[in-house]
Amino acid sequence: MTASKNASSYRPETQGIRTIGALLVAVFHIWGGRVSGGVDVFFVISGFLITGSLYREIETTGTIGIFSFWGRILKRTAPLACLVLTLTLLAAFLWMPRARVNGFLVEILYSAIHLENIKLMMNAVDYLAREEAPSPVQQFWALSVKMQFYVIWPFLLLAATSLSKNHRSYGSVVATLVCVFLASFAYSVIETGRNPSQAYFNMLARVWEFTLGGIIAVILPQLKLSSSARLCAGWIGLLAIVSCGFVFSRSAHFPGYVALWPTVGAALVLISRDSRSRLGVDRLLASKPFVTLGDISFSFYLWHWPVLIFVMLIQARTKVGLFGGLSVIGIALCGAYITMRWFEQPVMRSQIGQRRAWHLHAMAALLAVPVVALSALWLVTNQMAEISQKEVVERRLQDYPGGEHPIALATTVKAGIPIYPTPAAGKGKHANRCQQNEKDPEVRTCDYGVIAEARKTIALVGGSHAEHWLPALEKLAYEHKWRIVAVTKSACPFVPVRKGNPSCEQWNRDVHGILARIKPDAVFTTSSRRGTISAKPNEYLPVGYLEQWERLAESGISVIAIRDNPKMEQGVLECVEANAHDIAKCSLPRMRLIGTDPSILLSSKPGNVSFIDLTDRFCDERLCYPVGGNVLIFRDTHHITIEYARTLAAPLGERMRQVRPDLFSVEAQVISGKLAGEGLAN
């Protein structure tokens, strides 16, 4: 956002810092895949400029015109934000795969009302949502955080000045800002350690970065430093800013204490003003090229991300390379300049809001309405189409055998029969309504199937790879009068030790008490796990599984362990959408995914464990598929859709009957025996 260039407050070097921050963000988004620290620098600069402006207003008038302040902010941000969102909507209409549209439209709505960071925090909690590809409007999280900060900051400064009798106390403002800094920083460090994915987008964990800039704004006029000190501070600060992305990996805990590196660097550059040296950083950053790029830095930040995402979508790649990356930067710079020259500047120079502050709020609302309306209409239209397709499918269930038979290329997709569900609708949530989240160690249970007159009780235990078998088990439960007790937790397999996840460890310890109370006739869980895609299959049986099974044996509880399903590659749903009549293009070689069943390699198998394998419902002898019998198998790269799981009830029941005939009703066993006899007679 362009700073107000009045003589008393304009700092050209701040535009230079913004240039550095914006370029770092783009470079590391495009090529580095690491945290650049550029957004953190943006926040420090914003805190510096806004706090300085509001503090001067308080010093001059004794108060803050909050409604007018918000109007000025909206005048700077709303036109740019709504234009980028509108153009991104248009690009999505032209190029985005339908499998990604619904999630994108929801994020458009959140971005339009400056809550995109909240949406991303929600996605960070939702284990399944993490599989979704980045949205073309994900970068709006930073603008959302800034707007939320702008809402609360005037009130805090007014509260700080109210502590002084003359409402102009330098000391009370500095003391308040220091307290806010320390509180937010402590919260950021703690929350980043607990929930790094959430903390990254959490405004409360970012307030200290704005506050750091605010402290510099208030104390800078009183700060007396020699020219040499300013010279050194400037270069040390610039080095810290530029080096951040090279020093810290993507996994570094931002925005906790690690974010001090770029933010303190930005603070040092801010205090380096008036170094009175031709070699000073302030002189470099205040030069025309840096200032010119700084004027469009935030516009460039908003532009570069959707350009990058759509370039990769159009090219069907996950990386753009050197030339592609330079093209992204070039397009984003052109878009940012055009936006500033023919859109932002005319609005800023207009008479809107000069007499009535509410005109600015009305303008922002009017600009947002078309974005919200178009997104909502598109989203509702998609949902209605999915409902319509579901109704059609229910009338033609015979055309959707799914996993009832072993998968084969010839029967993977029947000509003229659409895949069900659509890739977009296939991104279902957990089948278990009591699925526990990653962070909560409490064991939650839910009953399914027949409860009051159940013949047998089966406990479904483990992580999401156990949980996604629930639809098949539930269908069998009604046929054979089973009670299914679901005891599952996201990202928490049935192992006693889960490194880096104390919640999972506690959950696993407590599960045994629940199982001892339930006394199930069998525990249904997974028998193997799979790592990431590699040149060779990397399926394994964790030692922790054996330990848990042994402990269950001590309690007299038996286990049915099913082999884990294959793991596909990113973009599998988009591939299905684009190649609905040639699914082989979306298949992967079996030899890359499936090796020898780890349970076969056990030197001695646990006596209380029965192993079953339904790999033939995912792979034939050569390939593993994302669709079987016209039903979408995967809702992401490695979780089964609810719809396909239901079609696996019959083969799952058949395998379970082979290893545990005692679980099935006498009537079913008699019928099964008669059919087998007739088959032999024929």
pLDDT digits (tens, 9 = 90+) for 549-559: 999 999 999 99
d(CA 209, CA 203): 10
- Torsion angle defined by CA atoms of residues 49, 50, 55 and 58, in that order, rounded to the nearest 10 degrees: 140
What was the pLDDT predicted at 679?
38
Q: Where are the alpha helices (DSSP H) in 396-447?
A: 409-412
What was the pLDDT predicted at 678?
42
Q: What is the 3-state secondary structure (H, E, C) of 191-210?
A: HHHHCHHHHCCCHHHCHHHH
d(CA 41, CA 20): 9
Check: CB of residue 629 under 8 Å from CB of residue 641: no
Cβ-defined contacts of 339-345 (< 8 Å, 24+): 339/80, 339/83, 339/84, 339/296, 339/299, 339/303, 340/2, 340/295, 340/296, 340/299, 343/79, 343/80, 343/83, 344/2, 344/76, 344/79, 344/80, 344/299
Cβ-defined contacts of 544-548 (< 8 Å, 24+): 544/493, 544/494, 544/495, 544/496, 544/497, 545/493, 545/494, 545/495, 546/606, 547/495, 547/496, 548/494, 548/495, 548/496, 548/508
Closest alpha carbon to 196 in 258, 284, 278: 258
**Residue 462 bridge partners (DSSP):** 488
What was the pLDDT predicted at 425?
76
What was the pLDDT predicted at 450?
93
Structure tokens at 268: 């040092």
d(CA 559, CA 555): 12
What was the pLDDT predicted at 332?
96
Residues of the chain with pLDDT under 50: 1-8, 668-682
Per-residue DSSP letter, 130: G
d(CA 567, CA 301): 35
Counting Cβ atoms within 10 Å, is residue 397 exposed (0-12), middle (13-18) or buried (19+)?
Answer: exposed
Q: Which residues contact 452 (CB under 8 A, 6 or more apart)?
A: none
What was the pLDDT predicted at 126?
56
**Residue 619 bridge partners (DSSP):** 624
d(CA 183, CA 178): 9
What was the pLDDT predicted at 127?
52
Q: Where are the alpha helices (DSSP H) in 565-665?
A: 572-578, 590-593, 642-647, 649-659
- CB neighbourhood size of 249 (10 A): 11
Q: Which residues contact 563 (CB under 8 A, 6 or more apart)?
A: 526, 527, 528, 597, 599, 611, 612, 613, 614, 615
Counting Cβ atoms within 10 Å, is residue 355 exposed (0-12), middle (13-18) or buried (19+)?
Answer: exposed
User: Which residue spans within 450-528 are E strands per DSSP?
Assistant: 456-462, 482-488, 522-526
Structure tokens at 543: 């030692």
Give me the half-sphere count of Cα atoms (radius 13 Å) on the Cβ side of residue 321.
5
d(CA 475, CA 495): 27
d(CA 485, CA 261): 49
Tell me how many degrees the CA angle 493-496-498 measures, rounded to the nearest 5.
60
What was the pLDDT predicted at 668?
46
Reply yes or no on domain 399-681 having CATH 1.10.1750: no
d(CA 642, CA 631): 10
What was the pLDDT predicted at 534?
53
pLDDT single digits (tens) 248-274: 876 567 888 999 999 999 999 999 887
Phi, psi values for residue 619, rounded to 5°: -140, 145
d(CA 19, CA 285): 9
Counting Cβ atoms within 10 Å, is residue 575 exposed (0-12), middle (13-18) or buried (19+)?
Answer: buried
d(CA 287, CA 170): 32
Q: Looking at the chain, which residues constitute the CATH 3.40.50 domain(s)?
A: 399-681
Structure tokens at 489: 């937790």
What was the pLDDT predicted at 667?
53
Q: Which residues contact 330 (CB under 8 A, 6 or more apart)?
A: none
Check: CB of residue 196 under 8 Å from CB of residue 253: yes
The single-letter code of the amino acid at 458 is: I
- Say if residue 589 is preceded by a cis peptide, omega within 30 of 0: no
- CB neighbourhood size of 4 (10 A): 13
